[in-house]
């Protein structure tokens, strides 16, 4: 098949959907790869590397969108200011788009409708189920790993003191205390990174299994007092808590937040707005110079006063609301993403053609729109109020 790799146009997005290594794999499998010149520069992958891997270099995205049967991207389609047209307007009926679409998010509903109207078959990477046979396809997990690592490094930069314990000629400096709220993939990586940097680590998660994993990394678990049957959904995900239980969680956390130097927020509920677990009053109780890194901001944020997309100082606390943290590790993030994408394409393409078996759990979880112009993704239909 003909696979197109356009340059990402989102502001400050340095990642690209294919590394030279992945291009070489596609070509070895018999695919043609159209690669937009300069698309890999931000990730330190250069045009000559892609050419050597077997890609056909194309100037600008329009030819790629016209010729490709499959478009692979990192971010959802956007309006191209330079060309004065939306990326979807450059696509055609029956073309496959594989990327992070985030179709249930209200800000993307118009884009999803536009994609359906164009007859573009949209496949969203954030829909890949967390099951064992899908692990090497799961770009969301890969990007969460990047966010957990880089988020703690951001906190280290924001702090005005050392993270590890330091013994100096003038006395001892105590290690920083780091609390991770939401111990999923990003949270576990954040705990591991903070531990490597010499911090004392604490973890809070409503799921008992997540707390056990945090303990295995040396973190001290905080018991939130939420019954397991109210906290854990099928598949091990967190459940959306009732207002009463969420308030109870906040009260427990309030007793610990005031003692922390860094709070890493990554508590998410699939398909829902992120729960607010840190109130403004809790921020006010924190020590001056403390840091909150709120990576849940893409889904609304875990801290009530995080500014989306910004680094702010409020009540003498640094609050990081930066949205594209994986993009701050462009080379590693691109390499991991590229391998996930290659594995997914290989999984879906049979005998040189895209084969979407809707009886398969992986396929049915990622298809958003069809060539016939339908929106079929359950979470999206629910979010749009169209689910029957």
Cα gap 199→260, rounded to integer Å? 11
Q: Are 129 and 366 in contact (CB under 8 A)?
A: no
Cα gap 18→139, rounded to integer Å? 12
Cα gap 229→245, rounded to integer Å? 12
pLDDT > 90: percent of the chain: 85
Provide, for the chain, the percentages of residues in helix, strand and coil under a 3-state DSSP scheme, each rounded to the nearest 5: 40, 20, 40
DSSP output for 285-297: HSPTT-EEEEGGG
Q: Are 249 and 277 in contact (CB under 8 A)?
A: yes
Domains in the chain and their CATH numbers? 2-137+330-384 (3.40.50.720), 144-323 (3.40.50.720)
How far is residue 113 CA from its own chain's centroid? 23
User: What is the average pLDDT score of the chain?
Assistant: 95
Other C-beta atoms lying within 10 Å of the C-beta of residue 303: 27
Q: Which residue has the higher pLDDT, 105 or 378?
A: 378
Question: Tens digits of per-residue pLDDT, 141-153?
Answer: 999 999 999 999 9
pLDDT > 70: percent of the chain: 99
Question: Tens digits of per-residue pLDDT, 267-304?
Answer: 988 767 789 999 999 999 999 999 999 999 988 899 99
Q: What angle do CA 28, 32, 35 make, to 5 degrees?
A: 110
In this structure, what token pair is assigned to residue 59? 């100037």
Cα gap 151→156, rounded to integer Å? 9
CA separation, residue 112 to residues 2, 108, 199, 321, 337 (Å): 23, 6, 43, 26, 22
Q: What angle do CA 179, 302, 262 make, to 5 degrees?
A: 25
Question: Tens digits of per-residue pLDDT, 115-137?
Answer: 999 999 999 998 998 889 999 99
Q: Are 125 and 99 in contact (CB under 8 A)?
A: yes
> Is the pLDDT assigned to residue 235 strictly greater than 80?
no
pLDDT at position 388 is 63
| pLDDT confidence band for 379 (50 / 70 / 90) | confident
- Average pLDDT of 161-165? 96
pLDDT at position 239 is 81
Question: Tens digits of per-residue pLDDT, 58-116?
Answer: 999 999 999 999 999 999 999 999 999 999 999 999 999 999 998 888 889 999 999 99
Cα gap 179→187, rounded to integer Å? 10
pLDDT at position 266 is 96
**The model's pTM:** 0.90
pLDDT at position 271 is 63
Question: Tens digits of per-residue pLDDT, 188-229?
Answer: 999 999 999 999 999 999 999 898 999 999 999 999 999 888
Q: Are 293 and 151 in contact (CB under 8 A)?
A: yes
């Amino acid at each position: 098949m003909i696979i197109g790799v356009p340059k990402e146009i989102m502001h400050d997005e340095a990642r690209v959907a294919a590394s030279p290594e992945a291009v070489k794999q596609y070509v070895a499998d018999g695919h043609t790869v159209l690669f937009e010149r300069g698309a890999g520069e931000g990730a330190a992958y250069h045009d000559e590397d892609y050419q050597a891997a077997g890609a056909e270099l194309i100037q600008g995205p329009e030819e790629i969108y016209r010729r490709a049967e499959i478009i692979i991207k990192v971010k959802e389609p956007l309006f191209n200011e330079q060309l004065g047209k939306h990326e979807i307007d450059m696509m055609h009926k029956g073309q496959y788009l594989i990327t992070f679409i985030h179709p249930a998010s209200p800000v993307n509903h118009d884009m999803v409708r536009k994609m359906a109207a164009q007859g573009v078959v949209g496949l969203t990477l954030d829909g890949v189920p967390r099951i064992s046979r899908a692990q090497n396809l799961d770009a969301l997990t890969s990007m969460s790993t990047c966010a957990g690592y880089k988020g703690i490094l951001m906190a280290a930069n924001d702090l005005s003191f050392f993270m590890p314990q330091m013994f100096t000629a003038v006395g001892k400096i105590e290690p920083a205390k780091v609390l991770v709220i939401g111990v999923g993939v990003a949270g576990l990586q954040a705990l591991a990174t903070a531990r490597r940097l010499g911090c004392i680590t604490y973890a809070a998660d409503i799921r008992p299994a997540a707390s056990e994993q945090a303990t295995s990394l040396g973190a001290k678990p905080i018991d939130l007092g939420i019954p397991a049957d109210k906290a854990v959904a099928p598949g091990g995900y967190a459940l959306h808590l009732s207002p009463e239980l969420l308030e109870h969680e906040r009260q427990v956390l309030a007793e610990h937040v005031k003692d922390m130097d860094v709070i890493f927020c990554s508590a998410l509920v699939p398909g829902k707005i992120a729960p607010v677990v840190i109130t403004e009053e809790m921020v006010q109780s924190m020590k001056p110079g403390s840091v909150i890194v709120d990576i849940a901001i893409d889904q609304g944020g875990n801290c009530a006063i995080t500014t989306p997309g910004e680094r702010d100082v409020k009540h003498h606390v640094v609050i990081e609301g930066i949205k594209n943290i994986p993009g701050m590790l462009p080379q590693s993030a691109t390499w991991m993403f590229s391998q996930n994408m290659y594995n997914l394409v290989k999984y879906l393409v049979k005998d040189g053609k895209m084969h979407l078996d809707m009886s398969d759990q992986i396929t049915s979880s990622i298809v958003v729109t069809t060539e016939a112009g339908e929106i079929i993704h359950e979470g999206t239909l629910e979010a749009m109020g169209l689910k029957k």
